[in-house]
Amino acid sequence: MKLPSSRIFFFLAGLFCAGLLVFAMFLEYVLGLDPCPLCLSQRIVLIFIAIIALLAILQHSSQAYRIYGAITALAAAGGMWLAGRQIWLQHLPEEQAPACMPGLDYLKEFLPASEIIKIMITGTGDCTEVQWTFLSLSIPSWTFIAFTGFLIFGITEVVRQSRPKNVWL
């Protein structure tokens, strides 16, 4: 069985990223959920993967697909780490959870960029709150699943573009 072209797969990956980002905006602006620093970091990774997918669609070569697949896999692994950290924070006992902090808009006025980046990667007490669930899974659990899919996709593209063209994968 021959798989569809890499261009179609990258298009679908970019479309899926866009869908996830639109859903994140829906949760924020329609349902009124405030994203925590780790949520915002995961959004940045999704935007990055969407940009990589767009670049891959525009460049039509095996080598480019292999490189973009590797970058997608690395970004997805980073997204998995961020989502995994948030899942871990959500399951910490309350007394072990990090302290809550003011919003990022407030922090931008008083902290250097390096501290803000550290907060966005490590999370705050705000990241421990489960604000929404679907099928008993929280938002970071779903993004972890999505990033796992992107990781598998990226690795598959690297392997697929490294094989001779007459092989089914």
* pLDDT tens readout for residues 87-100: 888 777 777 666 55
Residue 167 belongs to a domain: no
Residue 122 belongs to a domain: yes
Mean pLDDT of 4-15: 88
Q: How many domains does the chain have?
A: 1
Residue 168 belongs to a domain: no
Mean pLDDT of 128-142: 81
Residue 1 belongs to a domain: no
Query: For all residues of the chain together, what is the average pLDDT?
Result: 83
What is the tens place of the pLDDT at every residue in 19-72?
A: 999 999 999 999 888 888 888 889 999 999 999 999 999 987 888 888 999 999
The C-alpha angle 92, 94, 98, rounded to 5 degrees, equals: 75
Q: What is the domain-level CATH number for residue 40?
A: 1.20.1550.10
Q: How far apart are CA 110 and CA 116, in angstroms?
A: 10
Burial 98-109 (b: 16+ CB within 10 A, else e): eeebeebeebee
Domain that holds residue 149: 6-162
Residue 169 belongs to a domain: no
Residue 67 belongs to a domain: yes
CA distances to 27, 78, 125, 145 from 91, rounded to whole Å, are 22, 20, 12, 17
Residue 89 belongs to a domain: yes
Q: In terms of DSSP bridges, do strands 133-134 and 137-138 run parallel, antiparallel, or are they unpaired?
A: antiparallel
Q: How far apart are CA 14 and CA 50, in angstroms?
A: 5
What is the tens place of the pLDDT at every residue in 119-128?
A: 666 666 666 6
Where does the chain have alpha helices with state H?
6-25, 37-58, 62-90, 104-110, 113-122, 139-162
Contact 89, 128 (CB under 8 A): yes
Residue 44 belongs to a domain: yes
